[in-house]
Chains A and B, each alone.
Chain A
Amino acid sequence: MLDVVYVLGIAGFFGLMIAFVHGLERLGHDATAPGDGEAS
């Protein structure tokens, strides 16, 4: 039983990290507003 919990815990953590990657990518886009980023 606990084996399933631990394996799901590992898989869930890495799933969370994949979501974190996409969150940071969106954060990068959101932060590059007009006047920001290379245009400045």
Chain B
Amino acid sequence: MTRPLPATGRLREHGYRHRRARLGSDSRVSGVHASTARAILTMTFAGWAQILVYCVVLLLVTKPMGLYLVKVYDGSFKWLGPVERALYRLGGIEPSEDQHWTRYAASLLVFTAVSTIVTYVALRLQGRLPLNPENLPNVVDRQAFETATSFTSNTNWQSYSGETTMSYLSQMTQLAFHNFASAAVGVAAAVALVRGIARRSAGRIGNFYVDLVRGTLYLYIPFSIVLALLFVQQGAIQNFHPYLHIATLEGAKQTLVMGPVASQEAIKQLGTNGGGFFNANSAHPFENPTPWSNFLQILAIFLIPAGLTYFLGRTVKSQRHGWAVWSAMFVLFIAGVAVAYWAEARGNPIHAARGVDVVASASNPGGNMEGKEVRFGIANSALFATITTDASCGAVNSMHDSFTPIGGMVPMVNIQLGELVYGGVGSGLYAMIVEVVLAVFIAGLMVGRTPEYLGKKIESREIRVVMVYVLVYAFVVLTFAAISSVIPAGLAGLNNTGPHGFSEILYAFSSTVANNGSAFAGLTGSTYYYNTMFGFAMLFGRFAMMVPALALAGFLAERKAAPESAGTFPVTTPLFVTLLVGVIMIVTALTFFPALSLGPIVEHFLMQAGKLF
């Protein structure tokens, strides 16, 4: 039998956290210090070389991906024309209709509402449906609700072990469907916002159903097929076999879980969904077998979001603006990687004080290896953790809860920034455009001119929806986390006390509301309280933010484009990039710094003083 697993979050790690908690009960170690010199020694050339190679490849793929996206969404591609037209006929869609933003948003909401309810019903009836060789029972009501909302919101927060809960039918027709559809919905919203900037069209921003169909047919399906084949070549499994029950060399019985893993893996990363076939997610060798598959996975996460910045530049006819947005994202990305790598390479000073060798050598990765795959080591774990939380992916190849306090704060802050560092597919770009509008508005106030963004005046109604967008996230995260930190139902799920316990709750709501899906998994989220709270948190985080973004698209589309003047703040310069990064950091710092102070920041100082939680 498969070992029963505690169910909470994307990746469960009770064993590690409990060990750490036990250590914490008597772990005051005096005179704990880890020198900066040791930390620098432990960050290796090989580690930084891998990060550098990743950055170069990301830069190189941005333009071709952007050009491909332009052709997908301007209708140039027609090689699946018959399929496309058949889908329109089947759905009674008039593809030439140019929808007002309100109709575009309503179409998006109705499509998602129906698909969410269908998934809920399908999961509740799973035990009676085919393609269930393990005879898995119906999914319980609270988990069916959370899973349905999780996958339709592109979050893929999982409070269950996929291999012991979901039948092949549920995985393939429900979860995989939403992996494609929710990603296509996200990109559609971003494309609509870019059209709103580029157009003068009385609030009309395209056709939601056309964007959904074209994104699925021309973008996600072909890219996923190619990527799935690459994963199979690397050793990821892809079959419909029943689980294998084998005897180990020691004579113990072991269950090897089978299934269509490679295909799930491809769309999981390309769509920044993140939900793993296995409980261990991308730390599992059947999902992520080699260093090359690991590289492909993290490249797939940023591929489309990075390309969307080029798409933005091309569509608004200011390629330099697209690259400026890309650069702001890159600054935030590399800063996150550097801090996470530094913190994890530096390791836990308490380990060092107890005689654990935390210095990297030919036979020792050094640093903090708790919760990390030996195959990937510290650099690739820090890189993966940063990328998956910059985007709204949430796939993991290491356990974020086992990171050092500062190392673990990086994924949390990335999520709280709004996942706009390349970001989720589509959601990253529209989140960044919201921040751009805010930055332009602030720049306009500083020089006393009416703010303009690419020729469109930014006035009170645009700023109102921008502020609604910014406040929804902060309000839902902080309110839900505060309630859960004081009521018995919220505290019942905690396996760690003190600041780390609070960090687990804060991370959970930051992750679910931002539709990331990764977890500080010491929190037991598989309860009626948390399943229900997380379900609504994910819905609010997705749609109560997407609707203001579409409203912004409509408002901008109604405006005439004014020619640039001497008073126009240029959005293509290093000054703009600096201002944009500053606005993002300040908005986040003002919102979340007090909460972070109660969690990872105080935990860091207590760790330095020799106390763990």
Contacts and interface: CB of A to CB of B under 8 A. Distances in A.
A37 B483 CA distance: 40
Contact of A32 (B116, B461, B547): B461
Contact of A40 (B120, B142, B144, B459): B459
A31 B464 contact: yes
Centre residue among A25, A28, A37 by max chain B CB count within 10 A: A28
Interface in B41-90: none
B112 interface: yes
Contacts of A18: 106, 109
A10 to B, nearest CB: 5
A24 B468 contact: yes
Interface SS of chain B: helix
B124 to A, nearest CB: 6
Contact of A3 (B124, B536, B540, B547): B124
Given A10-B149, A20-B544, A31 B113 contact: no
Interface residues of A, number: 24
Contacts of B359: none
A15 B547 CA distance: 13
A40 B560 CA distance: 11
Contact of B145 (A9, A38, A40): A9
B178 to A, nearest CB: 14
Contacts of B465: 24, 27-28
B559 A6 contact: no
B432 interface: no
B102 A6 contact: no
Given A14-B113, A18-B109, A24-B551, A31 B461 contact: yes
A16 to B, nearest CB: 9
Contacts of B464: 27, 31
Given A9-B145, A18-B109, A20-B544, A31 B459 contact: yes
B547 A31 contact: no
A9 to B, nearest CB: 7
Given A14-B110, A28-B555, A38-B560, A21 B461 contact: no
Contacts of B106: 18, 21
B172 interface: no
Contacts of A11: 113, 117
A10 B558 CA distance: 32
B540 to A, nearest CB: 8
Nearest to A30: B461
A6 B144 contact: yes
B114 to A, nearest CB: 9
B460 interface: yes
A38 B460 contact: no
B411 interface: no
Nearest to A32: B461
B539 A13 contact: yes
21 contacts: A6-B120, A6-B144, A7-B120, A9-B535, A10-B117, A10-B539, A11-B117, A13-B539, A17-B543, A21-B109, A24-B468, A25-B102, A25-B551, A25-B554, A28-B461, A28-B465, A28-B554, A36-B460, A37-B459, A38-B457, A38-B559
Q: Which 8 pairs, one residue from A and one from B, show the smallest C-beta to C-beta distance?
A: A31-B461, A14-B113, A24-B551, A6-B145, A31-B460, A2-B141, A28-B461, A21-B105
Given A2-B142, A20-B547, A32-B461, 4 more contacts: A9-B535, A17-B109, A21-B550, A22-B102
